[in-house]
Amino acid sequence: MRSACVWTVLLLACGGGERFSEQTLAADEIPDDPTTWTVQANLPTMLRIEPGSFAMGSADGVRGRTVDEQQHQVTLTRPYLLSSTEVSQGLYRSVTGRNPSLAVGYDKKKMVGERFPVQGVSFVDAARFCNQLSAHEGLAPVYAIQGGAVTWQRDADGYRLPTEAEWEYAAGAGQVQPWAGAAEPQDACAVANVADQALGSAGGFPCSDGFPSKAPVGSLQSNAWGLFDMTGNVWEWVFDLHAPHPEAPTTDPSGAASGSERVYKGGSWLDGPDAARVAARRHGDPGELSIQLGFRLARTVADKPAPDGGAAG
C-alpha cells in the first residue's frame, strides 16, 4: 500500500478567493486504513431544535454578502434533530465500508482519522449514507435515490440532511452574529476551525485555533445550542436545491422547486471571515467532491413542539 511517491496538490480556497501554498507529504507518512472504527463509537448526539423564526440571509452592506443572500423572515414550525458534530470518518467507514477521505486530500496524515470529519463525499453519497445509517438503526430511509436525483420522503423517520433553513437557524442559535458562536473575527477561533494564523493565512481570521488543517469533530467550543463546527472545519451539504433567497417571508422552506445544484454551508478550515459566515451560501453539482466538503445529520421529529418553544435542547 505504501510507496515512495510524494503527493503534491495546489489548493485554492473555496469561495474566499485566497490562494494557499503548495503542500507535500511523502506517501509513507499516510496512516494505515483502520479496521476497528465502529458505528457505536462514532454516532453523534442528536440535539433537539425547537421551532422558531429568524432572519435568514444577510442584510445589504454585509461584507462578503453575495446576491443570493437576500435577507428574509423564515419560520420553522416543527422541531427537528440535528447532530452535534459533523459526520466523522469513523462513522462513515463503519456504515459504508469505505473512507472517501483517503482518496481526496492533500495532506492525508493530517486529514485521516476516526474522529476527523469525512470529506470527499458528494451530495448523493451523503444522501445514500443517511439511508444506510437509517437501515442500520432500524429507521425508515428518507431518500429515494435514482442516479443524481434525490427525493425526500417526508414521512420517513430516518436520518437525513438538514434543510438550509434548519442549518442556518441552528447555527445562529438565536443570536445575530456573523459566525456560529462568535460576533467578532478575533473571537471566532474559540468556536471554529477556519483559515487563521495556525494556517498562516493572510486575510484569514486574526486569531489561532490551533489547527492548520482539519480538526477532529467537536475539538472547539460549541455554539449556544451545543452544536460544534457549524462554522469552519468542513463545508456541509444541506438538502436544498440552490436558488436566490426570496424576499417574502417563508415557512419551512426546503429549497428551490427545480434546479440542479445543491447548497452547502459553514465554510471550512480554508475559509476566511467572508466565506465562513453563517449566512454565506455555496452550491455545487450533487456529484461534486472536495477536500473541504462533508455533512452533518438531521432527523424529523414526530411529536409536537415543547411548550416553551424556541430553544434547543
Count the neighbouring beta carbons within 10 Å of the beta carbon of residue 311.
14
User: Least distance in Å: CB of 180 to Ca ion?
Assistant: 15
User: Least distance in Å: CB of 241 to Ca ion?
Assistant: 31
Helix (H) or strand (E) holding 204: none
Beta bridge partners of 101: none
User: Least distance in Å: CB of 48 to Ca ion?
Assistant: 30
Distance CA 27, CA 35 (A): 20
Question: Would you say 229 or 240 has its CB closer to Ca ion?
Answer: 229
Helix (H) or strand (E) holding 70: none
Of the candidates 136, 181, 110, the residue with the CA atom closest to the CA atom of residue 42: 136
- Give the residue carrying C-alpha cell 488543517: 213
Torsion angle of C-alpha atoms 204, 209, 212, 218, degrees rounded to 10:
-120
166 binds Ca ion (CB under 5 A): no
Helix (H) or strand (E) holding 222: none
229 binds Ca ion (CB under 5 A): no
* Residue pair 252/78 in contact by the 8 Å Cβ criterion: yes
Binding segment for Ca ion (CB under 5 A), chosen from 24-32, 81-89, 188-196, 287-295, is 188-196
Extract the C-alpha cell encoding 87: 459526520
292 binds Ca ion (CB under 5 A): no
User: Least distance in Å: CB of 193 to Ca ion?
Assistant: 4
Question: Would you say 37 or 205 has its CB closer to Ca ion?
Answer: 205
Q: Give residues 251-270 in contact with Ca ion (rule: CB under 5 A).
A: 269
Site string for Ca ion, 42-81 (x = CB under 5 A): ----------------------------------------
Site string for Ca ion, 189-218 (x = CB under 5 A): ----x--x-x----------x-x-------
Q: List residues binding Ca ion (CB under 5 A).
A: 193, 196, 198, 209, 211, 269
